[in-house]
Structure 1
Amino acid sequence: MSLFEPKTETNELLKSRVAPDDWTNPKPAEIYNLVIIGAGPCGLIAAAGTTGLGGKVALIERHAMGGDCLNVGCVPSKSLIRAARVAAELRHASTFGIEPKDSQIHFSTAMERMRELRAKISQVDSVHRYQKELGVDVFLGTGAFKSATSIEVDGQTLNFKKALIATGARATKPPIPGLWESGAHTNETIFSLTELPKRLAVIGAGATGCELSQAFARFGSEVTLFDHGPNILKGEDTDASAIVDQTMREDGVNILCETSIHRVSSNDDIKTIHYTLGDSQNTLDVDAILVSVGRTPNIESLNLEAAQISYHNRGIEVDDQLRTSNKRIFAAGDVAMKYQFTHTADAAARIVIQNALFHGRKKLSDLVIPWCTFTDPE
Structure 2
Amino acid sequence: MKSFDAIVIGGGQAGPFLAARMVEKGMKVALIERKFLGGTCVNAGCMPTKTLVASARAAYVARNSAVYGVNIPGEIAIDMKVVRARAETVTMNARNGLIGWFAGMDGMTVIYGHARFEDPKTVSVNGETLTAPRIFLNVGARPVIPDLPGINDIDYLTSTSIIHLDTLPRHLAVIGGSYIGLEFAQMYRRFGAEVSVIEHGPKLASREDEDISDAIADVLRSEGIDIHTGVSDIAFARSSDGITVATDSARIDASHVLIATGRKPNTDDLGLDAAGVISDKHGYITVDDRLATNVDGIWALGDCNGHGAFTHTSYNDFEIAAANLLDGADRKLSSRILAYALYIDPPLGRVGMTEKQARASGRKIMISTRPMSRVGRANERGETKGFMKVIADAETKKILGAAILGIEGDEVIHGIIDAMNAGTTYPALQWSVPIHPTVSELIPTVLGDLKPV
Q: Same fold (TM over 0.5)?
A: yes
User: Are residues 1:190 and 2:162 paired?
Assistant: yes
User: Are residues 1:242 and 2:221 paired?
Assistant: no
Offset at residue 261 of structure 1 (A): 3.4
Where structure 2 has 5 or more consecutive residues not aligned to the other structure, the ranges are 348-453
2:78 to 105, 111, 122: 105
For residues 72-151 of structure 1, the aligned pairs below 5 Å read 72-102=44-74, 103-126=76-99, 128-133=100-105, 135-151=107-123
In the alignment, is the contact (CA less than 8 A) between 1:261 and 1:273 conserved in 2?
no
2:264 to 279, 285, 296: 296
Offset at residue 96 of structure 1 (A): 1.1
**Further displaced range: 44-53 or 171-180:** 44-53
User: Are residues 1:353 and 2:307 paired?
Assistant: no
1:49-69 CA distance string (max 9 Å, x none): 221232221111112111111
- The whole-number CA distance in structure 2 between the counterparts of 1:133 and 1:332 is 22
**Further displaced range: 213-222 or 175-184:** 175-184
- The whole-number CA distance in structure 2 between the counterparts of 1:327 and 1:320 is 14
Where structure 1 has 5 or more consecutive residues not aligned to the other structure, the ranges are 1-27
Offset at residue 290 of structure 1 (A): 0.4
Match of 2:417 in 1: none
1:305 to 263, 266, 273: 273
Normalising by structure 2, what TM-score?
0.73
In the alignment, is the contact (CA less than 8 A) between 1:206 and 1:233 conserved in 2?
yes
- The whole-number CA distance in structure 2 between the counterparts of 1:269 and 1:319 is 52
Match of 2:360 in 1: none
**Further displaced range: 131-140 or 354-363:** 354-363
In the alignment, is the contact (CA less than 8 A) between 1:58 and 1:139 conserved in 2?
yes
The amino acid that maps onto 2:64 is H
Residue 313 and residue 297 in structure 1: after superposition, are their counterparts in 2 closer, same or farther (change >3 A)? farther
- The whole-number CA distance in structure 2 between the counterparts of 1:38 and 1:207 is 24
Offset at residue 364 of structure 1 (A): 0.5
Give the share of equivalent positions with the same residue, in percent: 31
- The whole-number CA distance in structure 1 between the counterparts of 2:292 and 2:37 is 24
- The whole-number CA distance in structure 1 between the counterparts of 2:94 and 2:27 is 26
The amino acid that maps onto 1:239 is D
In the alignment, is the contact (CA less than 8 A) between 2:185 and 2:197 conserved in 1?
yes
Offset at residue 92 of structure 1 (A): 1.6
Q: Of the two structures, which has the highest relative contact order with CA contacts closer than 8 Å and spacing of 6 or more?
A: 1
1:19-58 CA distance string (max 9 Å, x none): xxxxxxxxx753x222111001122222222212322211
Offset at residue 196 of structure 1 (A): 0.5
1:155 to 119, 127, 142: 127
CA RMSD for the aligned pairs? Answer: 1.7
The amino acid that maps onto 1:219 is F
1:327 to 272, 279, 296: 296
Determine helix, strand or coil for the equivalent of 1:371. strand
1:317 to 286, 291, 314: 286
1:341 to 299, 305, 310: 310
- The whole-number CA distance in structure 2 between the counterparts of 1:241 and 1:377 is 13
Offset at residue 148 of structure 1 (A): 1.2
User: Are residues 1:209 and 2:177 paired?
Assistant: no
2:205 to 215, 222, 233: 233
- The whole-number CA distance in structure 1 between the counterparts of 2:233 and 2:39 is 30
Offset at residue 234 of structure 1 (A): 1.2
1:58 to 17, 30, 33: 30
Match of 1:176 in 2: 148
- The whole-number CA distance in structure 2 between the counterparts of 1:255 and 1:311 is 36
Normalising by structure 1, what TM-score?
0.87
In the alignment, is the contact (CA less than 8 A) between 1:33 and 1:160 conserved in 2?
yes
User: Are residues 1:285 and 2:253 paired?
Assistant: yes
Offset at residue 101 of structure 1 (A): 3.0
Q: Count the aligned residue pairs.
A: 345
